[in-house]
Structure 1
Amino acid sequence: MSATNSVVSAFRVLESVAQMQPVGLSELSRTVGLPKSSVQRALLTLHEIGWLRPTSTQPTRWSLTYRAFSVGTQARDHQLLRETALPFLNDLQLMTTETIHLAAPDGRELVLIERLDTPHPLRAFLPLGSRIPLHASATGLAFLAASSQEFIADYLAGQLAPQTDQTITDPDTLRETIEEVRLRGYSVNQEGLSKGITAVGAAIVNAQGEPIGSVSVSGPSIRMVPETFETFGNAVHETVQRIHAVL
């Protein structure tokens, strides 16, 4: 295996561990499509340089160390977005009393970079760093609605994998939904990402009008009912406008 291939394999293993942790060798090998021997070498190398740690029990399972978190939080654009948005997210959380998510784009997905939790014991929960499909989430639908027609066409041409039985997977339906979000000013996602969870969202745009992130209000569907959509939707829309003004 060449040096380049070894590096690529190591990063594939690292990313898979991040998604599946704690995870064992056999499951990792199946996920990344590499022989166990290659995955084992990558795991040991990543452990040696401080990115992964094994469990002390058998069978061995692997997790990220805090080094991965430390490096990830230095992403400057995302850090600026998070620091700018945080005071406004706090206001939104106090107003809605539900969970607030801030997500930033990475390819065909968003990455969760901040979460403010609700005091309610029954709540929406996504770990920081979670990767969020655009078509399956309130943050993603809002991001698509703020995107260019070229970006949308490219996205619709790709796979629209279901996350639940409520996920929009038909390209024509998704395009209609995107237009509705544009007209309304906020998205509504009823259990498209997680069963029992409903969210409303809006996109943050830069000075050129390009989306650079999204904010959502998420909660159990028993509390996030249609009667709350307009109030919370307008609140999240106003929040992203305030963030945009400061940026």
Structure 2
Amino acid sequence: MTKALAVLEIVANAPRGLQLSEVSAELGFDRSTTYRLLNTLIAAGYIVRDGSKRYNLSYRLVTLSRHLLADNERSRASREIMEWIAHETGETIHLSALDGMEEVLIQRVKGTQFLIVDFQIGERFSLHCTSVGKVLLAYQDERLIEQVIAAGLPQMASNTITDPDHLRQELRHIRSTGYAIDDHELADHMRCISVPVFEADGRVMVGLSISGPDTRLSLEKLEEYKVPLSEGARELSERLGGAPNSTATSFMNLDRNGHS
């Protein structure tokens, strides 16, 4: 089963498809084992083979994930709030979810800025090196934090946190301030800011973030964006039944100029 899933992931990450030899070489499996696994996945409907003998994902995976992609009340609420934040800042807004020991981008609303960091829906990242990853990790129990640390903290950019004690300290700081910044931690050309969204039971499973090139997003600009980003996160948390803040002015009561 594990080998079949490895094959599925390799094919999923190849938009133009892969031939048998490429899948075999990528995973280090012999050709006969790889061929058998691919045929099993074809029979199950998860992979198709085209006329040039290249293997690609089928649309069955879309069917399986339809509840995650559905236009339901939750997704409509998050999109409405993200559109408001994008209008206020001009920046592209991302909603990412905790998935195991990674974050996955699940929703995106584009802003008006021409130069953006073009993350795609479904992209996954390690938790220790992005603002939203750190926000998601900061609100988990100690077991998951230690699992992430034990799995390794690879250097992704010049300021990536790779020291376990430094990461623990950073997570405590995030919990006390309610937001996280990525200052050249995922990539040396990029900065990001993220805030948590609270579920009805108090858990944090998703976070909102703004990412962009460092030529536009100074640390001072991120601090400025923290205001609408935090307000949007509070509104979304309240709609989900979590962490209401009665002192916060709902953005739904503000006009586009920020006046009540």
What is the TM-score with the length of structure 1 in the denominator? 0.85
The 5 Å alignment of 1:15-94 reads 15-22=9-16, 23-54=18-49, 56-57=51-52, 60-75=53-68, 81-94=74-87
Displacement after TM superposition at 1:17 (Å) = 1.8
Q: Percent identity?
A: 29
The answer to whether the 8 Å contact 2:79/2:109 transfers is no
Determine whether 1:212 maps to 2:216: no
Displacement after TM superposition at 1:49 (Å) = 4.5
Q: Which amino acid aligns with 1:238?
A: E
Displacement after TM superposition at 1:193 (Å) = 2.1
Separation of aligned partners in 2, 1:49 and 1:149: 38
What do you get for the CA RMSD once the two structures are aligned? 2.5
Query: Residues 57-88 of structure 1: CA distance to partner in whole angstroms, max 9, x if unpaired?
Result: 4xx54332333233223248996653431111
CA shift in 2, pair 1:80/1:157, >3 Å:
farther
**26-35 vs 206-215, which deviates more?**
26-35
The answer to whether the 8 Å contact 1:82/1:113 transfers is no
Q: Alignment partner of 2:211: what SS?
A: strand
The answer to whether the 8 Å contact 2:160/2:185 transfers is yes
Determine whether 1:187 maps to 2:180: yes
Query: Residues 42-64 of structure 1: CA distance to partner in whole angstroms, max 9, x if unpaired?
Result: 3234345543344544xx54332
1:175 to 168, 171, 178: 168
Q: Alignment partner of 2:210: what SS?
A: strand
5+ unaligned residues in a row in structure 1: which ranges? 1-6
Which residue in 2 is equivalent to 1:157? 150
Separation of aligned partners in 1, 2:217 and 2:141: 30
Query: Residues 197-228 of structure 1: CA distance to partner in whole angstroms, max 9, x if unpaired?
Result: 21100121222321111111111111111111
What is the TM-score with the length of structure 2 in the denominator? 0.81
More helix by share: 1
Query: Residues 14-47 of structure 1: CA distance to partner in whole angstroms, max 9, x if unpaired?
Result: 1222234434434432443422222223323434
Separation of aligned partners in 1, 2:187 and 2:58: 27
Which residue in 1 is equivalent to 2:256? none
Displacement after TM superposition at 1:123 (Å) = 0.8
Q: Which structure is larger by alpha-carbon Rg, 1 or 2?
A: 2
Which residue in 2 is equivalent to 1:3? none
CA shift in 2, pair 1:81/1:17, >3 Å:
farther
The answer to whether the 8 Å contact 2:178/2:196 transfers is no
CA shift in 2, pair 1:232/1:192, >3 Å:
same
Separation of aligned partners in 2, 1:15 and 1:177: 32
Q: Alignment partner of 1:208: what SS?
A: coil
CA shift in 2, pair 1:40/1:117, >3 Å:
farther
Displacement after TM superposition at 1:242 (Å) = 1.0
Determine whether 1:103 maps to 2:116: no
The answer to whether the 8 Å contact 1:186/1:234 transfers is no
Separation of aligned partners in 2, 1:188 and 1:209: 22
Displacement after TM superposition at 1:134 (Å) = 0.7
Q: Alignment partner of 2:155: what SS?
A: coil
CA shift in 2, pair 1:143/1:196, >3 Å:
same
Determine whether 1:142 maps to 2:135: yes
Query: Residues 141-192 of structure 1: CA distance to partner in whole angstroms, max 9, x if unpaired?
Result: 1112222233323322221123333322111111122122222221100232
Alignment coverage as a number of residue pairs = 239
